[in-house]
Amino acid sequence: MSKQPWWRGAVIYQIYPRSFQDSNGDGVGDLPGIIERLDYVASLGVDAIWVSPFFKSPMADFGYDIADYRDVDPLFGTLADFDRLIEKAHALNLKVVIDQVLSHTSIEHAWFRESRESHDNARADWYVWADARADGTPPNNWLSLFGGVAWQWEPRRRQYFLHNFLASQPDLNFHNPQVRQAALDNVRFWLDRGVDGFRLDAINFCFHDRRLRDNPPKPESKRVGRGFSPDNPYAFQYHYYNNTQPENLDFIRELRALLDHYPDVAALGEISSEDSLATMAEYTGPDRLHMGYSFELLTDEFSTGHIRETVEALEKRMHEGWPCWAISNHDVERVASRWGGNDAPAHLASLLSAMACSLRGSVCVYQGEELGLGEAELPYELLQDPYGIAFWPTFKGRDGCRTPMPWTAANDGGFTSARPWLPIPESHRARNVEQQDADPASPLQRFRSFMRWRKQTPALMWGDVRMLAAPAPVLALERQLDGVTLRAWFNTGNEACVLNVDDIAGFRVIEGHGLVAGELGETQLRLPGFGVLFAQRG
């Protein structure tokens, strides 16, 4: 077990700094607040924290628009606070992973302010600039994920610049070797401060097609994807040319070569492409990223068939890399609501977390998932997310998963002494940490129990995986390692069910994982609603 690198099989707890803990009474979470709550995180039994962006930023996209890669935004604290966070986390045996947003910057970054001034300054070619067509329209048909064209006119240069996201997030030109070196230098800065890894935001967006070819249209039947409003034209195209270019692999190898100079660090790439599973397999391996994750399990589609097909498709393609799974994060509706509906029972979240943590790979767990929190419903006038504001009411954006953590039942949830930047719904306060701490059957305590048991189960951490046949709504799988075979059945429905099972001789039921457990007979097993059964042979 000690020979495995820390990131293989790790559970990585994502912290959204704005919403974790406010330490100075301004209604926004910060780095000192994270430090204050790290003992709680350690008590969950996770292996690492992933801290979403805390860098200097105008906050047009809440930190994913970076104005200075090497400084902490005053809203969140100081570099000294970050150093204290590293020290405290390491003292608690928690690794620290931070976001790196390499493909684009804020419009307020000094690089862009210089680049936009002329065609011949030192950084004139650091961003993706293009002349207008003869009629003044943008150079091609590329679209922004946040709606509308992906090109913004800049009068100083009399050219358009590319933005795959907000117009205030201009894309860097990674075809320029100086840009690539600057990006690597920024990564090195944080490695030297002691971080243990990076979550690489939109890593397949670094390069664009040099020829700026138009993306082809996509048939209406195929216009699906995570977070797309029905009226978002982004889904109308195959995005063959504005991301996932062949040159990106060479940069990833450069990045990995840098990381390999530092002991025991890891890179996790966020990948969203036309075939994300294929890109995950291509981008991970000994000379590439350590891990990759995509949005296949972050969509509205929920069925045991979809999960099984996703895992099997990735396993067929990924021979050298290592997957990472996520069923919630700061960009999508919380999984309890997304897959269970508005009235989902609290212990459904416990089952779903255990299911994700039983797949081969590492896992990202989003803050509040351990409490069974559902999506918050916010009125239009309280929205902060530009994505939701642009596409209201057909798509309400990402604020509903970003509301502050409920630590207590108080109106402010114990999060702040001021008015929180987003309201904490009453349904969340009813599932607060303080209350769940005292309840041995709470989602929080079930989560802790499962994490303790998982760490003692090598087959679940590192074993090979095989998906087993089972009727919906049951997901069944098998993990094998060193002569031990572990089987698991997850009932994702609310009704109890009985299954006939073959080849179960020699298996014994495993208890102590903290979940609602089923029963195993000689030829049948019984699963309660939202229940699970683990059995082991060998």
Domains and CATH numbers, the chain: 11-106+176-452 (3.20.20.80), 463-537 (2.60.40.1180)
Q: Where are the alpha helices (DSSP H) in 92-234?
A: 110-115, 177-192
Are 291 and 323 a contacting pair, CB within 8 Å?
Answer: yes
What is the per-residue pLDDT across 476-501, written as a single tens digit (0 to 9) for each? Answer: 999 999 999 999 999 999 999 999 99
Kindly state the helix (H) or strand (E) to which residue 475 belongs, with its residue range: strand 474-481
pLDDT at 226 over 60: no
pLDDT at 229 over 60: no
Give 436's pLDDT tier (boundaries 50, 70, 90).
very high
pLDDT at 2 over 70: no
Tell me the two tokens of residue 437: 């701490």
Nearest to 280 by CA among 311, 317, 255, 312: 317
Exposed e or buried b per residue across 440-470, where buried means at least 16 C-beta atoms within 10 angstroms of its C-beta:
eebbbbbbbbbbebbbebbbbbbbebbbbeb
Q: What value does the mean pLDDT take over residues 411-417?
A: 95
What is the per-residue pLDDT across 58-103, written as a single tens digit (0 to 9) for each? Answer: 999 999 999 999 999 999 999 999 999 999 999 999 999 999 999 9
Kindly state the helix (H) or strand (E) to which residue 349 belongs, with its residue range: helix 346-356
Distance CA(480)–CA(478), nearest Å, equals 7
Nearest to 52 by CA among 200, 159, 164, 173: 200
Amino acid at 189: F
pLDDT at 397 over 70: yes
Coil, helix or strand at residue 537: strand
pLDDT of residue 225: 60
Which phi and psi angles does 406 have, rounded to 5°?
-90, 100
pLDDT of residue 445: 97
pLDDT of residue 79: 98
CB burial of residue 379 (10 Å; 0-12, 13-18, 19+): exposed
Q: What value does the mean pLDDT take over residues 386-407?
A: 93
pLDDT at 227 over 60: no
Nearest to 209 by CA among 109, 256, 122, 141: 141
Distance CA(362)–CA(57), nearest Å, equals 30
Cite the beta strand spans of 192-285 per DSSP E.
197-200, 266-270
Q: How many helices (H) and strands (E) does the chain have?
A: 14, 21
Q: What value does the mean pLDDT take over residues 138-144?
A: 98
What is the per-residue pLDDT across 335-355, written as a single tens digit (0 to 9) for each? Answer: 999 999 878 888 898 999 999
Give 394's pLDDT tier (boundaries 50, 70, 90).
confident
Please state, in angstroms and as integers, the Cα–Cα distance from residue 538 to each residue in 18, 89, 355, 506, 522, following that order.
47, 37, 22, 8, 17
Q: What value does the mean pLDDT take over residues 231-257?
A: 95
What is the per-residue pLDDT across 508-534, written as a single tens digit (0 to 9) for each? Answer: 999 999 999 999 998 999 999 999 999
Please state, in angstroms and as integers, the Cα–Cα distance from residue 509 to each residue in 93, 154, 389, 533, following that order.
31, 65, 50, 7
Which phi and psi angles does 327 have, rounded to 5°?
-115, -5
Tell me the two tokens of residue 379: 């009125």
Are 307 and 352 a contacting pair, CB within 8 Å?
Answer: no
Q: What value does the mean pLDDT take over residues 422-429?
A: 96
Give 230's pLDDT tier (boundaries 50, 70, 90).
low
What is the per-residue pLDDT across 270-311, written as a single tens digit (0 to 9) for each? Answer: 999 999 999 999 999 999 999 999 999 998 888 999 999 999
Q: What value does the mean pLDDT take over residues 399-417?
A: 97
Q: Is the peptide bond before 219 cis (omega within 30 degrees of 0)?
A: no
pLDDT of residue 346: 80
Which phi and psi angles does 32 have, rounded to 5°?
-60, -35
Nearest to 290 by CA among 248, 316, 260: 260
| Length reported for the chain | 538
Are 79 and 192 a contacting pair, CB within 8 Å?
Answer: no
Q: What value does the mean pLDDT take over residues 2-23?
A: 95
Distance CA(198)–CA(485), nearest Å, equals 33
Q: What value does the mean pLDDT take over residues 136-142?
A: 98
Residues known to be catalytic: 201, 270
pLDDT at 191 over 70: yes
Give 475's pLDDT tier (boundaries 50, 70, 90).
very high
Tell me the whole-structure pTM to 2 decimals. Answer: 0.97
pLDDT at 124 over 60: yes
Q: What's the CA angle centered on 518, arms 515 and 520, to 5 degrees? A: 140
Coil, helix or strand at residue 312: helix
pLDDT of residue 462: 96
The strand order across the sheet containing 151-154 reads 129-130, 159-162, 151-154
Q: 148-157, 228-237, 419-428, 488-497: lowest mean pLDDT where?
A: 228-237
Q: Is 96 left (phi over 0), alpha (psi -120 to 50) or beta?
A: beta
3-state secondary structure labels for all residues of 228-244: CCCCCHHHHECCCCCCC
